Amino acid sequence: MTNISIRERFRTFLPVVVDVETAGFNPKTDALLEVAMMTVKMDEKGFLHPDELMHCNIRPFEGSQINEVNIKFLGIDPFDESRDLKDEREGVVPMFKAISKLVKKEGCTRAILVGQNGSFDLRFLNALCERIKYKRNPFHQFSVFDTASLAGLVYGQTVLSRACEVAGIEFDDLKAHGADYDTQKECELFCALYNRFTTYAGFIATYSDL
């Protein structure tokens, strides 16, 4: 048994895994097409496990740019209403609110984004909040836990599929590049990285000890 909590372990931050799919690389001009978020939970031994997944397909915002190379890579029609498209506010704000509620429940101050090259995902979320004038973004405005960097350090691999393979996590290339699937795999990878570190290094001094 351990008395450690997520709040103590991550300096009052709540890790939330995020993946976005986009129609380009400029968060201010290019359309946001998919958003997925997945929470983690800590067991009584202090190890992390994937928890709840949230996902939505986003209708491109008015005037946004669509890079055809990105669309072909993703293999989707960004204007296909059969994908249950939602406007940015309708699709993402409920996720923000759910995360904020969990942050409060865990006694944390903010969520911190976990992602494969997580600064990319964070820039698109920050741009969305600016666009829709949403001032309650639960995520830290610039800090992230980057699984590409962590996996490169621990497993010697920075590509998600290869890092998962080395970590013993099943990965289906045919399902890759969908925000929901990639988020699940990034979450499994983050938990594996954290649990591996904890197994070999033990529990570090917690926030309350400092």
Catalytic residue, candidates 49, 55, 140, 177? 177
Distances (CA, A) of 48 to 2, 7, 25, 42, 65: 13, 13, 31, 5, 38
Dist CA 84 CA 185 (whole Å):
23
Residues 6+ apart with CB under 8 A from 23: 30, 31, 32, 33, 60, 64, 65, 66, 67, 70, 71, 78
* Annotated catalytic residue 177: yes
Instruction: Give the max Cα distance, the chain.
Output: 54
Residues in the chain: 210
Is 164 within 8 Å of 170 (Cβ atoms)? yes
- Residues 94/95/96/101 CA torsion (nearest 10 deg): 90
Active site residues: 177
